[in-house]
Amino acid sequence: MDAKAHWERIYHTFDPAQLSWYEEHPRLSLELIHRTGASKAAQIIDVGGGTSRLVDELLAEGYQHVTVLDMVGRALELTRQRLRSRAAAVTWVEADIMTVELPRDSYDVWHDRAVFHFLTEPEERRWYVETMRHAVRRDGHVIVASVLHA
């Protein structure tokens, strides 16, 4: 099964709150975003945002330019449904981070909780970093949450 099929199956099988990585309040992510000092007008992208509630909390705090990218359309659709009318304030990108063409120098904050984590080949990681460096502004911030396996 390829990676996309794997993630699609998950989002078609489970309720978001049943997922092992589910967080009712993504407190650490929010705290790290606060610590960047990004303004409410900053361009923030949540890479592999899935059904994360980070976007809900960012909107509630008044961040105006939030993008959620995920390779699974179903995950983005579930998040849009949860947000209802607030979904219109968000930029939704259904794409694989390994192939997407993001605009250059466009994000102040790049947040990724568990996409880079799944990239195991050096070449994939290099490509991810290239994409990120292309898309993040020179004075931007990158927050990547990953788990190291021994």
Ligand X SMILES: C[S@@+](CC[C@H](N)C(=O)[O-])C[C@H]1O[C@@H](n2cnc3c(N)ncnc32)[C@H](O)[C@@H]1O
Does residue 44 belong to the site contacting ligand X (CB under 6 A)? Answer: no
Taking the complex as a whole, how short is the minimal distance between the CB of residue 72 and ligand X, in angstroms?
A: 4
| Residue closer to ligand X, measured from CB, 30 or 89 | 30
Residue 66: how many other CB atoms lie within 10 Å: 22
Looking at residue 138, what DSSP letter applies? E
Amino acid (one-letter) located at 92: W
Does residue 14 belong to the site contacting ligand X (CB under 6 A)? Answer: no
Does residue 17 belong to the site contacting ligand X (CB under 6 A)? Answer: no
* Burial bucket for residue 60 (CB in 10 Å: 0-12, 13-18, 19+): exposed
Taking the complex as a whole, how short is the minimal distance between the CB of residue 49 and ligand X, in angstroms?
A: 5
| Residue closer to ligand X, measured from CB, 38 or 45 | 45
Determine the Cα–Cα distance for residues 133 and 96; give it in Å rounded to an integer.
16
Taking the complex as a whole, how short is the minimal distance between the CB of residue 98 and ligand X, in angstroms?
A: 5
- Strand 65-70 and strand 90-94: the pairing is parallel
In contact, 54 and 30? CB cutoff 8 Å: yes
Does residue 136 belong to the site contacting ligand X (CB under 6 A)? Answer: no
Member of 45, 49, 66, 131 binding ligand X (CB under 6 A): 49
Residues in contact with ligand X by the rule CB under 6 A: 3, 7, 21, 48-50, 52, 70-72, 75, 96-98, 113-115, 118
